[in-house]
Structure 1
Amino acid sequence: MAELLKNFFLTLSNSRTLNAGAQKFGLKLGAQSVVAGTNIDEAIETIRHLNEQGIEATIDNLGEFVHDRAEATAAKEQILAVVEAIHVSGVQSHISIKPSQVGLDIDYDFCLENVLEIAEKAYEYGIFINLDQENYSRLHPTFSILEAVHAKYPGIVGTVIQAYFHEAMDNLEKYSDYRLRIVKGAYKEPADVAYTDKADIDANYVKLLEYSLLHAKYTSVATHDHTIIAHIKKFVKEHDISNDKFEFQMLYGFRSDMQKELAKEGYHFTTYVPFGEDWYGYFMRRLAERPQNLALVTKQVFNKKTNTLLGLAAGAFLIGRLSKR
């Protein structure tokens, strides 16, 4: 059942039609619990509240399905505005960028120019940039952008290692001099490039974390799995790894009590804070990652007696119908 739900929501996440329809609803389909508003001011206010609890943030101006230069340029300008807002407000936050949002699927050189323009401003203000990784077809182009940005603005940029890829350890070893976020992976990938069994992914994830903690410049342990978190807490203690070498990361809206508790325990903690009108693809992948997330949405949108899967499918269908009006 879990695998069926995952495939269901991953399929929905790739629908440009549903994405367009979802924007008409704002965040009324439950996404308001995991997306920090639709504009910069709302996102900055959310981050300010997190900072008051000893939690830093990485902010993601959501955007997908970018297929022309005008859309990519508009996204770049919005991200530049986010960098400016972080600087002016003084909140403790860095930014996360998806290369596809600023033109990777259009033209590599065009995308690189956009990222470099963002990096120039971030470098001026001392704001770190994380290049989010997406699906496998974008993996190596993103690494190339990483290297190009680092060559011009050293120390300002890092990226993500996804544990479900067979080559993840090779990539981790190659980029261990960068600040790295280690994740399990949230896209549907074929078996020839990625592990598909949860147990295999989890095992590789822990293996990558341990290597990164011992060898990488800085490690972001990005997971909501309390068992893995407990293992990492024990591992860093046994190997005398300083708290300044790593942080825990979770997504905004998930396991908030644990986020606060880890911060209170003295661990560096960063919350991934997404915002924007283009929230649909992100939201669907969060539902695909953890079937438990369905309950969160169902409580806010549908009658509790409604079957969760049917309710969400109906919601997705409704979005699609309304988007055609």
Structure 2
Amino acid sequence: MISALSKEFFLFLSKNRTLNRAAKKWGLKLGASQVVAGNSIEAMIVKVRELNEKDLVCTLDHLGEFVSSKEEAATATAAAIRTLEAIEKEGLNSHLSVKLTQLGVDIDREFCVNNMRSILETAQKFKNFVRIDMEDYLHYKITLNILQELRETFQNVGTVMQAYLFCAEEDMQKLQGIPLRIVKGAYKESPKVAFQHKKEIDENFMKLIKIHLLGGNYTAVATHDHHIIAKVKQFVEEQQIPRDQFEFQMLYGFRTEMQQSLADEGYKMRVYVPYGSDWFAYYMRRLAERPQNVSFALKGLFLK
């Protein structure tokens, strides 16, 4: 019965600031430890090294939500830079993912851009890559605008395109030459701006992947859907697209056998690895995407 709880319910919980604050004190509870790689950099390093040893590459996300001051955004920026420094020092095979809201875009746009520049300068020094995660539609246009501004100086930055958005194809055409992660989309958006049915989203997802690949662009296909993965594998084979032009991406803790299988087949398989104490909203969104993942929470109730 609990698995029948609606997507809207979990998304509602993900936006609850009180629960989010409380969760920082709980530690990784409710099964979150299965999908979040620890509270600290030290714990994260252990997990990423284990993945790298299995020929799985990573992208790291130091979790953070509800940033409401420049001080909090500066702290998040410093954490992102420390993550890049840890990747370099420990010799980890990993990129970095960041959210503009965490870096203060809702507080002061230029302040946020300057924070991004600091992060990208560090990544550039280490010859690393930073992905700007796409958030809800409210932040969609400003994310694309900031990306294009940053690309005037930095080539080591890309973003995410969400296939459920009507405007995704048109906007993607403006991002030629920019590495993109293509996803279906994890937020609940209005039918005025986004497809609402799985069939339509899946069709647009494959359409975007094909367009980006055929344009010669580096493409990260982010999905746990084995049907989509099989179609992508068939398409790149038919079109003779080299394997160094694309990669598959999945979330830490999900479909681990498939992740390993793709790596064993010689595909680049990147695992999105979140870590940090601010885990609650991220975890609720994962439950919203697939209510059957509530089994994680049930198991977590019995973890000591």
Going from structure 1 to structure 2, the CA distance change for 1:216 and 1:61 (only over 3 Å counts) comes to: farther
- On the 8 A contact 1:178/1:216 being kept in 2, the answer is no
1:275-290 correspondence runs (5 A): 275-290=275-290
- For residues 220 and 149 of structure 1, the distance between their equivalents in structure 2, rounded to whole angstroms, comes to 20
Match of 1:230 in 2: 230
Match of 1:240 in 2: 240
Match of 1:48 in 2: 49
Deviations, residues 173-221 of structure 1 (Å, cap 9, x unaligned): 1113111000011111111111112221111111111112211420000
Cα deviation for residue 273 of structure 1 reads 0.3
Deviations, residues 143-163 of structure 1 (Å, cap 9, x unaligned): 12211221112x200100001
Going from structure 1 to structure 2, the CA distance change for 1:3 and 1:299 (only over 3 Å counts) comes to: closer
Match of 2:139 in 1: 138
Going from structure 1 to structure 2, the CA distance change for 1:302 and 1:115 (only over 3 Å counts) comes to: same
- For residues 73 and 242 of structure 2, the distance between their equivalents in structure 1, rounded to whole angstroms, comes to 40
- On the 8 A contact 2:30/2:296 being kept in 1, the answer is no
- On the 8 A contact 1:96/1:129 being kept in 2, the answer is yes
Match of 2:16 in 1: 15
Cα deviation for residue 99 of structure 1 reads 0.4
RMSD of Structure 2 on Structure 1 (CA)? 1.5
- For residues 265 and 291 of structure 2, the distance between their equivalents in structure 1, rounded to whole angstroms, comes to 29
Match of 2:121 in 1: 120
Structure 2 spans left out of the alignment, 5+ residues: none
Q: Does 1:200 align with 2:200?
A: yes
The 10-residue stretch of structure 1 (35-44 or 140-149) with the greater mean CA deviation from structure 2: 140-149
Cα deviation for residue 297 of structure 1 reads 2.5
Q: Given residue 297 of structure 2, which amino acid in structure 1 is its aligned partner?
A: V
Deviations, residues 27-81 of structure 1 (Å, cap 9, x unaligned): 0111000000011111121111111111100000000100111100111111110
1:155-174 correspondence runs (5 A): 155-174=155-174
Cα deviation for residue 83 of structure 1 reads 0.8
Match of 1:215 in 2: 215
Going from structure 1 to structure 2, the CA distance change for 1:292 and 1:4 (only over 3 Å counts) comes to: closer
Deviations, residues 113-153 of structure 1 (Å, cap 9, x unaligned): 10011111111111100000001111111112211221112
- For residues 131 and 210 of structure 1, the distance between their equivalents in structure 2, rounded to whole angstroms, comes to 22
Q: Given residue 76 of structure 1, which amino acid in structure 2 is its aligned partner?
A: T
Cα deviation for residue 302 of structure 1 reads 5.6
- For residues 216 and 170 of structure 2, the distance between their equivalents in structure 1, rounded to whole angstroms, comes to 13
- For residues 164 and 278 of structure 1, the distance between their equivalents in structure 2, rounded to whole angstroms, comes to 27
The 10-residue stretch of structure 1 (269-278 or 22-31) with the greater mean CA deviation from structure 2: 22-31
Q: Aligned pairs, how many?
A: 302
Over the matched positions of the two proteins, sequence identity in percent amounts to 49
- For residues 124 and 112 of structure 2, the distance between their equivalents in structure 1, rounded to whole angstroms, comes to 18
Q: Given residue 152 of structure 1, which amino acid in structure 2 is its aligned partner?
A: T
Counterpart of 2:26 in 1: which secondary structure? coil
Report the TM-score when normalising by structure 2: 0.96
Going from structure 1 to structure 2, the CA distance change for 1:33 and 1:13 (only over 3 Å counts) comes to: same
- For residues 171 and 298 of structure 2, the distance between their equivalents in structure 1, rounded to whole angstroms, comes to 38
Report the TM-score when normalising by structure 1: 0.90
Counterpart of 1:63 in 2: which secondary structure? coil
- For residues 255 and 227 of structure 2, the distance between their equivalents in structure 1, rounded to whole angstroms, comes to 13
Deviations, residues 262-310 of structure 1 (Å, cap 9, x unaligned): 000000110000000001111000001112211232233269xxxxxxx
- On the 8 A contact 2:63/2:278 being kept in 1, the answer is yes
The 10-residue stretch of structure 1 (170-179 or 240-249) with the greater mean CA deviation from structure 2: 170-179
Counterpart of 1:254 in 2: which secondary structure? coil
- On the 8 A contact 1:179/1:216 being kept in 2, the answer is no
- On the 8 A contact 1:61/1:276 being kept in 2, the answer is yes
Match of 2:80 in 1: 79
- On the 8 A contact 2:32/2:300 being kept in 1, the answer is no
- For residues 114 and 189 of structure 1, the distance between their equivalents in structure 2, rounded to whole angstroms, comes to 28
- On the 8 A contact 2:20/2:281 being kept in 1, the answer is yes
Match of 1:264 in 2: 264
- For residues 216 and 102 of structure 2, the distance between their equivalents in structure 1, rounded to whole angstroms, comes to 28
- For residues 105 and 30 of structure 2, the distance between their equivalents in structure 1, rounded to whole angstroms, comes to 29
Match of 1:147 in 2: 148
Q: Given residue 119 of structure 1, which amino acid in structure 2 is its aligned partner?
A: L
Counterpart of 1:166 in 2: which secondary structure? coil
Counterpart of 2:68 in 1: which secondary structure? coil
Counterpart of 1:221 in 2: which secondary structure? strand
* Structure 1 runs (4+) greater than 2 angstroms displaced: 1-4
Q: Given residue 121 of structure 2, which amino acid in structure 1 is its aligned partner?
A: E
